Structure 1
Amino acid sequence: MLDSLAQTAADSELTGIAGWAVGLMDAIGAPGAAVAIAAENLFPPIPSEIILPLAGFSAAQGTFTVAEAIIWTTIGSVVGALALYLLGRLLGHERLAAIARRMPLVRVSDIDKTTAWFAKHGWKTVLFGRFLPIFRSLISIPAGIEKMPVLLFLGLTALGSAIWNTIFIMIGVTLGMNYHVIEPYMSWLQWIVIGAVVLVLVIWVVRRMLQNRAEGKHLLHGE
């Protein structure tokens, strides 16, 4: 069977995060989508909103089934979230905050805010937090810090992630089933998508750098 998704990537010179995700799915099938989504959990700026539709598109082209796409991406979400949960549980708030201070583009206040939100809303943050970009990754850390029961954490993470993943996978499936309609526009559509992702990442990085600089000045002056 021809790998339509890989051919599309080659024809349109798909690059960056999207090209990397396509390459994984082309090489190892649905488990490749799981790897990409696990990475998205560990490094939030990687956008699942790009990876998941690609998995759905691939499923529509017959590379693997829609069920496999949903199951494997959910597994990837759970594995990535569990890694952050264990990090929070093993290191605790103070040591994680100390590590965050030494990391570029990471703010201690992010950990403080998610910990406070978790303390206020409990298990709801783990379930509904999966629908919020960036936050859906960070919420796993305070869940670990507060020693939330691991089975409850895994169950809520799997449920929330499965819902989120299914929505975006089905968007990709719809695009894949109507590929003959969108094929003439693939070239400029993919550049619009890539441009939007790059713009969001640049804005996020610039804002984070400015925020870190402002926090550094406050600490320097003892404010």
Structure 2
Amino acid sequence: METLGEVGVGVAVFLETFFPPIPSEAVLPVAGFLAYEGRMNPWLAILAATVGAVTSAWGWWWAGRALGRHRTRALIERLPLLDGEDFDRAERFFQRWGAAAVLVGRCVPLVRSFVSIPAGIDHMPFWRFTLYTTIGSGVWNALWIGLGFALGPALEPALTRWSGLLSNVVVVVVAALVLLFVTLRVRRRVRESRADANA
């Protein structure tokens, strides 16, 4: 972001959709802090972040639309430790909440990376999907960039002192969540295998 300015903010948010361990909650306040220091325009940073979020969401929407329900479900079932039930739950959630899922989902870590897929599968109109994604992403980006801008003086010592530690904490938390997910899924698979053997 320091090198590319507002464009760098958009690129960071775009990448976050494909690599969820890069959390926008950590990226956007830094953009606000850089705006506070006069190194970028806060409104252009919000615009760039929103464009990055929307364009990446388009990619997932088109992927869901192109693959369709059956192929997406079959693909999920081929992934290690995932099964069709995971897809069915996500689809039921989207069918129940629809537009609200897209709107609010843009403000939820991990969910915002994948909520676009069921929208494409369900053939949500592209213009409506774009509208809800733009609103949800715009509000989210403005909130965090505005927070970084408002807390500018307080953020500087914190960023200098704690940025390395926070990066390590994020890595540890993500690794712990992945390990927990893998452990629970392996235990479930073992129980299912034993039940099938007994049957």
Within 2, Cα distance between the matches of 1:159 and 1:113?
Answer: 25
Q: Does 1:195 align with 2:156?
A: no
Match in the other structure for 1:66: 42
Within 1, Cα distance between the matches of 2:25 and 2:83?
Answer: 24
Q: Deviations over 1:108-159 (max 9, x none)?
A: 5443322111111121111112221111222111000000000000000000
Q: CA deviation at 1:185?
A: 4.7
Residue 158 (structure 1) aligned to one of 118, 134, 139 = 134
Q: How much is the aligned-residue C-alpha RMSD, in angstroms?
A: 2.3
Match in the other structure for 2:51: 75
Give runs of aligned pairs for residues 17-28 of structure 1, distance below 5 A: 25-28=1-4
Match in the other structure for 1:8: none
Tell me if structure 2 keeps the 8 A contact 1:114–1:138: no
Change (3 A) 1:51 1:221: same
Change (3 A) 1:47 1:98: same
Q: Does 1:53 align with 2:16?
A: no
Tell me if structure 1 keeps the 8 A contact 2:81–2:186: no
Change (3 A) 1:102 1:45: farther
In structure 1, the gaps of 5 or more residues are: 1-24
In structure 2, the gaps of 5 or more residues are: none
Tell me if structure 1 keeps the 8 A contact 2:33–2:155: no
Q: Deviations over 1:169-208 (max 9, x none)?
A: 11211233x1xx5545544322342233123211221122
Residue 209 (structure 1) aligned to one of 182, 185, 188 = 182
Aligned length: 196
Within 1, Cα distance between the matches of 2:192 and 2:59?
Answer: 31
Q: Percent identity?
A: 36
Where relative contact order (Cα < 8 A, 6+ residues apart) is larger, the structure is 2
Tell me if structure 1 keeps the 8 A contact 2:16–2:23: yes
Secondary structure of the residue aligned to 1:87 is helix
Give runs of aligned pairs for residues 78-157 of structure 1, distance below 5 A: 78-103=54-79, 108-157=84-133
Q: CA deviation at 1:98?
A: 2.8
Match in the other structure for 2:18: 42
Which amino acid is the alignment partner of residue 188 of structure 1? R
Change (3 A) 1:222 1:101: farther
Within 2, Cα distance between the matches of 1:108 and 1:197?
Answer: 29
Within 1, Cα distance between the matches of 2:67 and 2:89?
Answer: 18
Which amino acid is the alignment partner of residue 183 of structure 2? L
Q: CA deviation at 1:216?
A: 3.7
Change (3 A) 1:192 1:132: same
Tell me if structure 2 keeps the 8 A contact 1:111–1:142: no
